[in-house]
Amino acid sequence: MESTFKVIIIGGGPIGLLAAHALYCAGIDFVLLERRQSIIEEQGASIVLYPQTFRVMHQLGILDVLLPLGTELDHHLSFTKDGKVFNESTRYRRIKENHGYGPVIFHRTELLQAIYECLPETSRSKILTGKALQNIETHDYGIAVSCADGSTFQGSMVIGADGVHSKTRHLMREIALKGNPLRDWDTEQPYKSTFRLLYGAFPASSLPGEGYDVQSSGKSVMYFSGKTRGWFFLYDKLPQPTTESNRYNEKEVESLAGEFADFPLNGTLKVKDLWPNMSATGLTDLQEGIVKHWSLGRIVLVGDSCHKFTTHLGLGFNNGVQDVVVLCNILRARVQETPNGCPDAETLAQVFQKYETTRKSPECSLTTDLENSGLETRMHTWSGTFYWLLSRYIAVWSIVEDFIFRFGISPSFQKAQVLDFIPALEIMKGKLPWRL
């Protein structure tokens, strides 16, 4: 029998780090294993956060450090490829009015740094880098994790927060099929990509707060301006959808950037104006999907390891935060209820099942968020007559936007949950109430 309950978190991305915060606040011991040599690494990506996520950040004591690093988006325009404005929407203002704060864009590296540095020193010492998960063994009494450097770690359960190509998910599948090769399980590559994305950061080049899109057939652009840097996202429809994970080389990056050279970003800038000044770039396929099996025995998945969206609407990270909230609420309650503080394998399986069922149910917005982000990607890339008509001529009407907010976006935001074991004043106050 175990003497203390301990969670092994795999992955020190934003969701793994938030899980560390939540477990610390829940009084549950943990160790976090990250493959990279450093938690903070420069990448060209940005992340937009919404007010529902700020409520959780506030509970964890991160919000005051975080907010000054970001830029609130306040102006949206849609352009055609030849620079014609065909829509000026009030989407950012509506979010602010309804939920208390507009969307805020962050440099991903700074977001990670803030989350990491807000952890108390005792927790930071439990975050270990250079630890690539290699194998997981489950026993009746607990779980053993081994890493590529030969180190091993014992714990009560594993949270796999190791991203889209999750090794935890892969090992879980192996264990499941070893027991029964005919068992229904997710495929090795459970996500499908229909688009790829070239993204990058550059020194600020226009007024902060712009969040624009450029639409055309098969290709689209998003442009965001922050206080000190800007970001663009160049979306390209793949010749055909794939479940394989493509890796792109420098030549392919340059070639795709060339295809977008004359695309506008706002009223004055074009992609080719900024390309020579990029501080970082990345080219990746945009996987989409929700994994069927989120847990097995003492192993459970959160974040991109169990669901993956296109980047439109910025919902991937925001949903990962909700995974952590729902899982930790249920887990903490069961740990507290268990006399020795160590739930057994059967109890953990129930916790994980309840977590997954909740996240996939209409109680949460996960499944509609997946649909909505994919819908926006297809609308912006005019992926067929239906999407072109919808994006170019129908969604531009303010009455249609009213409808989308009233019945789609706002109810999804309102459903978001907070950690039920951390009392905090409600600081995100808009016209619409939070459900929880």
Ligand X SMILES: Cc1cc2nc3c(=O)[nH]c(=O)nc-3n(C[C@H](O)[C@H](O)[C@H](O)COP(=O)(O)OP(=O)(O)OC[C@H]3O[C@@H](n4cnc5c(N)ncnc54)[C@H](O)[C@@H]3O)c2cc1C
Q: Contact positions toward ligand X, by CB under 6 A?
A: 10-16, 33-36, 45, 47-48, 132-133, 161-164, 167, 199, 284, 303-304, 311, 314-318, 320
CB nearer to ligand X: give 106 or 434.
Answer: 106
CB nearer to ligand X: give 167 or 343.
Answer: 167
CB nearer to ligand X: give 105 or 419.
Answer: 105
CB nearer to ligand X: give 156 or 168.
Answer: 168
The SS3 of residue 417 is: coil
Spatial CA neighbour of 198 closest among 225, 233, 229, 231: 233
For the record, the structure tokens of 267 come out as 């009223």
Shortest distance, position 88 Cβ to ligand X, whole Å: 21
Please state, in angstroms and as integers, the Cα–Cα distance from residue 143 to each residue in 160, 338, 339, following that order: 13, 19, 20
Alpha-helical segments (H) within 229-365: 250-259, 271-274, 316-337, 345-360
Shortest distance, position 3 Cβ to ligand X, whole Å: 26
Total H helices, total E strands in the chain:
15, 20
Shortest distance, position 326 Cβ to ligand X, whole Å: 15
For the record, the structure tokens of 332 come out as 């903490």
Spatial CA neighbour of 45 closest among 163, 190, 150, 151: 163
CB nearer to ligand X: give 13 or 155.
Answer: 13
By Cβ distance, which residue is nearest to ligand X? Answer: 13
Chain-centroid distance, C-alpha 276: 29
Beta bridge partners of 158: 8, 299
CB nearer to ligand X: give 9 or 342.
Answer: 9
For the record, the structure tokens of 388 come out as 């072109």
Shortest distance, position 393 Cβ to ligand X, whole Å: 27
Phi, psi of 330 (to 5 degrees): -70, -45
The SS3 of residue 94 is: helix
For the record, the structure tokens of 203 come out as 């020194």
Shortest distance, position 313 Cβ to ligand X, whole Å: 8
Shortest distance, position 399 Cβ to ligand X, whole Å: 27
For the record, the structure tokens of 314 come out as 């910025």
CB nearer to ligand X: give 193 or 311.
Answer: 311
CB nearer to ligand X: give 283 or 342.
Answer: 283
Shortest distance, position 47 Cβ to ligand X, whole Å: 4
Shortest distance, position 336 Cβ to ligand X, whole Å: 26
d(CA 379, CA 78) in angstroms, rounded, equals: 12
